[in-house]
Copies of this chain bind each other. A is one copy, B any other.
């Protein structure tokens, strides 16, 4: 597995989801900031290796081995992110780039030891689940803050947008994973929300609410 192959597999997984729905050449190209013709070439190559199903003009889907490979890379990416935040005091908006490099390091022992050092974390700094060594992968029961009814209470468990600008905005407003949230009121006009977060009242736009994941209290 070359670095490039791993990146394609990862992208196909992110676009096609766990069930490995067929993904369009163009979509892959756009996501990876490359050209559709390059994607076609790689699709052929990965198909020959048995990592994807590829039929001309009908997009690409991951095989079982492809999914396994994707999960292994994603596991590494997310574990490194946790490492950077927990052990080296990186902030959550700085980890992505570096993890993009570290995820390609080839050593099973290394990543297992990192996992152990971190005490087997279940989620990365953005709230995304970390696949286990054997590729199990528990998507948390969560909803967008913008989708939950008024008066409901929950805990902030993830972000949808992981861009540095958004994450820094959250930091500035002391919105962090683990914070409790109650929706007090919803403005009909612009869908903005009045919420209570860890005690203090806050007014947030729909834009923000639709990029924050909440786990409702049971």
Interface residues of A (CB under 8 A from B): 84, 87-90, 94, 97-98, 101-102, 105-107, 109-110, 113-114, 117
Contact = CB atoms under 8 A, between A and B. Distances in A.
A90 B109 contact: yes
B113 A89 contact: yes
Task: Pick from A89, A90, A110, A117 the residue with the most CB of B within 10 Å.
Answer: A110
Query: What number of copies of this chain does the assembly contain?
Result: 2
A162 B105 CA distance: 22
Nearest first, the 5 closest Cβ-Cβ pairs linking A and B are A88-B113, A98-B107, A101-B105, A98-B110, A102-B105
A80 to B, nearest CB: 10
A105 B114 contact: no
A110 B102 CA distance: 11
A102 B111 CA distance: 12
Contacts of A101: 105-107
A113 B90 contact: yes
Contact of A117 (B87, B98, B102, B114): B87
A99 B90 CA distance: 21
A131 B56 CA distance: 53
A84 B117 CA distance: 11
A117 B88 CA distance: 7
